[in-house]
Structure 1
């Protein structure tokens, strides 16, 4: 009896120790998505009995993802990254000394087990990425958005440490982005900033709020909030003696292209803007288009599908309370999406995950603002030089339709100093491509078309 009691006590102690252990440190694991093996590194810290996590995905060369809440109770690790569109739930296996759980992002669900310790990753640079030492001056900077009470971290590159130079601020696309706008193994903002700085134009690029080394909450921010981050960047540049404050420009990619005019119209210090793969139609119309062109499942009735998509948007953008919108939208998605996915033999679990993901995305402040925002209204007000570049094979933002919206807005506003150019065979990220589809981005070695880079620099030099 004494032996049994001793064993039970020892067992209880081991369980308590396992559940109360400090899990600070690096935890890494691999999971599969199709044929692709994806490596995750979770960097967990404990401060004042509270945990925080930063996630790196070296497979995609993405780092600095900051989920909002991390809890570890009774051996269960919950990482709530609803602010960045993900979550992880894992249970600690004392025998295997690992967390065994599930990673969810959007409608995707993957088994992901995490073991203590980081994995060594060989960073395979793309051919266009610069190699240090650079032939120009580089400085890590931090500036504040005092209104939002956040600090934004970035990199400023100047042609030389001494002198006064024109400068552009790079504004990233949708989703939490680092200062290099890292995606699918590419770093387009790093390539763009290197190219322009070597040509004589300074560049400021920074991590989105709540991402990388920047503070704040990305998940509660809207396009308008991001424009105020850009205004903070402008204010910071004006404090420096090495910046030609009469020649500060904005270059916005994708959503950055609709943030740029919003920021420019709220500042007297912008000399020009460059819109890369920008939209020129309302968020509602773009979302309807993308719901059809980027959809990953077929439907029998396209007219009915569009009608129901518009109904969902009408619910989201209504003046009802959040609770009313959520209830109404839940019912609509179940009436609208569930039958379609069921007819395609999608498992019930996956359908539920997809609908829940749609709900979370739709109810975010960003979505509600974006759906009601029409960049043409801001583009119309611009009285500074504007360059608009879009790729002819962009599958995310149709070049013809969106550039027509941009053109009409500029003409309506009386702006005669603009250039709108559709570049042949380039995708949403200005890579030379075959199909322009999203699954092709990673396969392309080129990060940024030299033709697009030259168009940008040549146009800017004619304006400064």
Structure 2
């Protein structure tokens, strides 16, 4: 199962038996033959209190097609557009304005997140995107992670004119993302790579295993496996003739920042790391904090937030046990039935339960970033967004400041108005990622570049 955008937000809330609201304009993107298409579902209730709606693909046609079938059950929805043979099935996330699901049309099937957005903007305006021709060299490269049995493919960019340059590896956050860290039409790593290359750096970014041109086991892979891939990327970069020895760094976003810490703790070729929205709190604590922050911006009451926190704590305590998967599954189901007021779990609830038993999730709960941070003895740049509801700034900054590190060269930057993707934001809610035309904040890129220049003199 693909982990999209988040550090895998698992926010199970089965105690609410009331029907959920699906009214509004729901927008999402799907990639077809390398092109991103905007898809829109417009839903409302008619005078007989039945759900009705229209579907549109504005980049392909101005026509609006009727949604012939809409079935809802609490927080789940199924829709069919018969005119074009399109099906969508999804469910509301903890954030009531985000729907996770999958669409199917003929033989084509894709995971798709929809966000409720009444904005007249399509959500596809991306003011920072960059396209060729470039005033630097761009090469497609490949490298092997023999230890992890993965074949990774990516892009290496570096300045023209010959010589050797300081170099960085960019590491994606959670989920299988391409080399540009693309999400909702934003390509932040492509923009960051362009910026840094123009400033004199060689930059390697790569498709995560299981997406794009990269190959490797995904379903059983954990953060430790992905760190092994990043380690192989550093080793590959260190052997390139245009790379300056002793000037190699790793820049990671979200889970990628955690990976940067893990690689720096064991690979002597890493000379500095930059952590962009990097978690400092242990996995289970971070996810509980994350769920609380997301619920708060979604408008949940304090009693509901506290109940959700207590319920998640019980679920995670079960997952932290050293028990076989079958026993864990049984214990989780018992606890969820209790949380669901004694009611048997529906098939939709079971679908939401399955990701919690994946190796990635169970491993992430156990990982304590501080363990790796304490082993890092190279300069650290750590940036956080004040509107970040996935890696909340205050708690993680406080935790970082309290650590006794080997290195004394630590720069912490707090950007009060930026969200998890480092966009200027109003609330930090997920739908703002989609609507925002900014892909990666210019001030952060400038601050990061100045720090990198200082550390690679």
TM-score between the two structures when normalised by the length of structure 2: 0.75
3-state SS of the aligned residue for 2:425? coil
Aligned counterparts of 1:200 and 1:421: Cα–Cα separation in 2: 23
Q: Tell me, yes or no, if the aligned pair for 1:106 and 1:357 is still in contact at 8 Å.
A: no
| The 10-residue stretch of structure 1 (417-426 or 449-458) with the greater mean CA deviation from structure 2 | 417-426
Superposition pairs of residues 10-409 of structure 1, within 5 angstroms: 34-38=24-28, 40=30, 58-59=37-38, 101-104=87-90, 108=99, 112-115=103-106, 126-160=126-160, 162-295=162-295, 298=300, 300-336=303-339, 338-339=340-341, 352=346, 354-409=348-403
Aligned counterparts of 2:107 and 2:356: Cα–Cα separation in 1: 36
Point out the structure with the larger helix share. Answer: 1
1:245 to partner: Cα distance: 2.7
Gaps of 5+ in 1: 1-31, 44-54, 61-88, 343-347
CA separation of 1:124 and 1:104: change in aligned 2, threshold 3 A: closer
Aligned counterparts of 1:33 and 1:109: Cα–Cα separation in 2: 15
RMSD of aligned Cα (Å) = 3.1
Aligned counterparts of 1:329 and 1:212: Cα–Cα separation in 2: 34
Q: Tell me, yes or no, if the aligned pair for 1:140 and 1:156 is still in contact at 8 Å.
A: yes
Q: Tell me, yes or no, if the aligned pair for 2:123 and 2:436 is still in contact at 8 Å.
A: no
Equivalent pairs counted in the alignment come to 377
1:407 to partner: Cα distance: 2.1
3-state SS of the aligned residue for 1:416? coil
2:452 to 451, 456, 460: 460
Q: Tell me, yes or no, if the aligned pair for 1:38 and 1:57 is still in contact at 8 Å.
A: no
3-state SS of the aligned residue for 1:397? coil
CA separation of 1:381 and 1:447: change in aligned 2, threshold 3 A: same
Q: Tell me, yes or no, if the aligned pair for 2:124 and 2:435 is still in contact at 8 Å.
A: no
CA separation of 1:165 and 1:117: change in aligned 2, threshold 3 A: same
Aligned counterparts of 2:228 and 2:23: Cα–Cα separation in 1: 37
1:105 to partner: Cα distance: 7.5
Q: Tell me, yes or no, if the aligned pair for 1:98 and 1:116 is still in contact at 8 Å.
A: no
What do the CA deviations read for 1:333-358 (whole angstroms, capped 9, x no partner)? 1221x349x9xxxxx9xx73552233
Q: Tell me, yes or no, if the aligned pair for 1:315 and 1:325 is still in contact at 8 Å.
A: yes
1:40 to partner: Cα distance: 4.1
What do the CA deviations read for 1:379-410 (whole angstroms, capped 9, x no partner)? 1111100000111111211111101212222x
Aligned to 1:10: none
Superposition pairs of residues 421-460 of structure 1, within 5 angstroms: 421-460=413-452
**Greater CA radius of gyration, 1 or 2?**
1
3-state SS of the aligned residue for 1:461? helix
Gaps of 5+ in 2: 1-21, 40-77, 94-98, 110-121
Q: Tell me, yes or no, if the aligned pair for 1:33 and 1:110 is still in contact at 8 Å.
A: no
Q: Tell me, yes or no, if the aligned pair for 1:143 and 1:152 is still in contact at 8 Å.
A: yes
Aligned counterparts of 2:230 and 2:89: Cα–Cα separation in 1: 33
1:291 to partner: Cα distance: 2.2
CA separation of 1:457 and 1:42: change in aligned 2, threshold 3 A: closer
Q: Tell me, yes or no, if the aligned pair for 1:317 and 1:372 is still in contact at 8 Å.
A: yes
Aligned counterparts of 1:151 and 1:302: Cα–Cα separation in 2: 43
1:59 to partner: Cα distance: 3.2
Aligned counterparts of 1:177 and 1:117: Cα–Cα separation in 2: 19
1:431 to partner: Cα distance: 1.0
TM-score between the two structures when normalised by the length of structure 1: 0.74
**RCO higher in 1 or 2 (8 Å CA, sep ≥ 6)?**
2
3-state SS of the aligned residue for 1:265? helix
Aligned counterparts of 1:113 and 1:212: Cα–Cα separation in 2: 20
1:176 to partner: Cα distance: 1.2
CA separation of 1:367 and 1:109: change in aligned 2, threshold 3 A: closer
What do the CA deviations read for 1:26-50 (whole angstroms, capped 9, x no partner)? xxxxxx995135464677xxxxxxx
